[in-house]
Amino acid sequence: MENKFFISSLKEAAKNTIFQHSWTPVETWAESINHYYKPPLSQVCNSTKLLNAVTRTKWFNTAIKTTGVIDDELSLYRNRHRPKGGKQIYCFYTSPKGVKSTIKEKQWHNYIDYAYDLLNKKITRSETLYLSEGTKELAQQKIPETKTSILLYNDSHKKKRKLGEEDPPPSLA
C-alpha cells in the first residue's frame, strides 16, 4: 500500500511544471513532495522509501527503463551517478510525454538540480499543492498487520514504563 501511495504522489509531483526539465536527486523529490503537498504524517516521504517504491513497482520500473513514458501526460527517466569517493546519487528527469532530456552531454551529472530555491520557498496555505482523491485514499488505507509487526509493537511498548516504576512480577504460565 505504501508503494502505491509513493508512486502516485511522485507521478502527481512530476506532472507539475515547476519540477520538470531537470535532473533532480531522489532526496530532493522526497523533500519537495513533503514540502509542497504536505502528506499525512504516517505517509511522510523519504528518499529510501521513494526509491524502494520505484524499484519494487514492476510496471513503473519497466516503463522508466524502456521508453520513459509513464502515462498519457508524463515521461520519467532515471539515472545514477557515483561521485569520486562518494555514494550513488539516483536522479529523475521528468517532462511532458515524449520529451527527452535537453542535456546531450555524457556529463549529465554536472547539471543535477538540488532545487534549493524551491525547497527554501515558504509555502502558504493558498500555495499548498493537493494530492488527488485517489492518492489521498491510498494514504488512508491501513497496512495489514503481520505477526512480526505485532510482536515488534508489543516488545517496544513493554519497555516503556514511567520513571520509578518497577518491573511487573513474572507470570507463572
Q: Are 139 and 41 in contact (CB under 8 A)?
A: no
> Among candidates 17, 49, 15, which has minimal Cα distance to 30?
49
The model's pTM is 0.70
Q: d(Cα 61, Cα 52) in Å, to the nearest integer?
A: 10
CB 37 within 8 A of CB 12: yes
Cell of 69: 513514458
Closest C-alpha to 30, from 84, 123, 19: 19
Contact of 6 with 49, CB cutoff 8 Å:
yes
In the predicted structure, residue 159 carries a pLDDT above the cut 80: no
Three-state SS at 81? strand
Say yes or no to pLDDT of 98 above 70: yes
- For the segment 151-167, the average pLDDT, to the nearest whole number, is 48
Q: State pLDDT tens for residues 121-132.
A: 888 878 778 777
- Residue where the block lists cell 521528468: 94
**pLDDT, tens digit, for every residue of 21-43?**
889 999 999 999 988 888 888 88
Please indicate whether residue 169 or residue 58 has the higher confidence score (pLDDT): 58
- Crossing angle of helices 2-15 and 47-56, in 10° steps, is 100
C-alpha to C-alpha distance for 44 and 155, rounded to whole angstroms? 24
For residue 24, which phi and psi values (nearest 5 degrees)?
-120, 130
Burial of 127 (0-12, 13-18, 19+ CB in 10 A): exposed
At residue 28, the pLDDT reads 93
